[in-house]
Amino acid sequence: MQLHRGVLGTTGIETVEIVKGIVDNIKPKLVIAIDSLCSKNIDRINKSIQISDTGIVPGGGVGNRQAELSKDTLSVPVIGVGIPTVLDAATIVIDTLKACEVDISENEIVDKMKLNNFNFIVTPKEIDSLIENMTTIVSEGINMSF
């Protein structure tokens, strides 16, 4: 049995369907979709912002891929804003071993962790305050751009 989290798990409705309903009724000229990203480097957690004009794929970075939010699915341009807030356990192990100067293949670590079902998704313990800070940065940036 797979545990569903996020919008789909809570509502039973894909994110794209909810946003499409809003877009169809309000008819905006643009959608700005903000989501968390799964980082492949500890140092990037909550320290970078990815912006793209191709939309986003909710859950794509953590193996829970949902329907994309894009111009193709919403019929309006979609700006995707992603903030790395989580990482997988393999990344933590790889970064730690690199810091300790242990010479081992990253692929070997990932393969062993997946084999033993140890590839957890992890977030920092202070995630609430980190999200609050990034919310301010992103919202100020959006306000200044308009």
Q: How confident is the model at residue 111 (pLDDT cuts 50, 70, 90)?
A: confident
What pLDDT sits at residue 4? Answer: 47
Whether residue 72 is contained in a domain is answered as: yes
Beta strands in the chain (DSSP E): 31-39, 50-52, 78-88, 121-122
> Is 75 part of any domain?
yes
- Tens digits of residue pLDDT in 67-96: 899 999 999 999 999 999 998 888 888 888
- Quick check: is 47 in a domain? yes
Domain count, the chain: 1
Asked whether 31 and 78 are in contact (CB, 8 A), the reply is yes
Q: Is residue 1 part of a domain?
A: no
Q: Which domain holds residue 24?
A: 6-145
Contact 16, 69 (CB under 8 A): yes
Q: What is the pLDDT of residues 15-66, one digit of tens each?
A: 899 999 999 999 999 999 998 898 888 888 889 999 999 999 877 766 667 8
